[in-house]
Structure 1
Amino acid sequence: MGDLMGMMKQASQLQAKMQEMQAELDRIEVDGTAGGGMVTVTLTAKGELKSVKFDDSLIKPEEKEILEDLLVAAHADARRKAESVMQEKMKSLTGGLPLPPGLKLF
């Protein structure tokens, strides 16, 4: 019975750590860039888009499609960085134990 109580305590501690990590991921921000820095997007480590910045030279009506494509590329760059930060945080939380593929924590 003592093992069960110990496991319950560990599960409770892990849950508390997960909640702390989720809050931390909300505060961590990463930037993604495209077009040599002409477009920058900022996301939280959870993937929430916080801001978009364009170089003034890009704001030309005839280049609207290019601007839109660069925005998509910058967002993808920031999302990859956010996922990397999340994976590193999870490694430290789980002691390096791998999580099952496809397990979403947010």
Structure 2
Amino acid sequence: MVNPGGELNMQALLQQAQAMQQQLMSAQAELAEAEVEGTAGGGLVSATVNGKGEVIDVTIDPKAVDPDDPQETAQTIADLVLAAIRDAERAVGELQREKMGPLTEGLGGAGGGLGLPGF
């Protein structure tokens, strides 16, 4: 990006920045459409999270319910839901690093300087 006279080639720098912006927008679009699932309790509870980290679905298998002990069942299900959401959040974090990592490294580190929530 330095021309023979030792000056910075602003046109090349601008083109590189525009290409990086397109790649970033493409990665963000892929993340927006992505869905990952987290599970807990051997699959009794599952949580689906989108690429932005928003919970979009929670499923509880009826086998998780013990009709003889509703109080304990409620607490167990609450714990399993939290565990499934955390599992899905971990998976979406990995997906975000996979999609955005190569782009953010060129911008000062893992999200440093991007100013984008969640990245």
TM-score by length of 1: 0.83
SS in structure 2 of the partner of residue 36 of structure 1: helix
User: What residue number does 2:94 align with?
Assistant: 84
Structure 1 stretches of 4+ moved >6 Å: none
Summarize the alignment of residues 58-97 of structure 1 with structure 2, pairs less than 5 Å apart: 58-59=64-65, 60=67, 61-62=70-71, 63-91=73-101, 93-94=102-103
Counterparts of 1:55 and 1:71, CA distance in 2? 11
User: Which stretches in structure 2 are left out of the alignment for 5+ residues?
Assistant: 1-6
Give aligned-pair identity as a percent.
Answer: 33
Task: Give the partner amino acid of 1:49.
Answer: V
What is the CA RMSD across the aligned residues, in angstroms? 2.4
Higher relative contact order (CA 8 A, sep 6+): 1
User: Which stretches in structure 1 are left out of the alignment for 5+ residues?
Assistant: none
TM-score by length of 2: 0.75
Count of paired positions: 105
Structure 1 residues 98, 78: CA separation in 2 closer, same or farther (over 3 Å shift)? farther
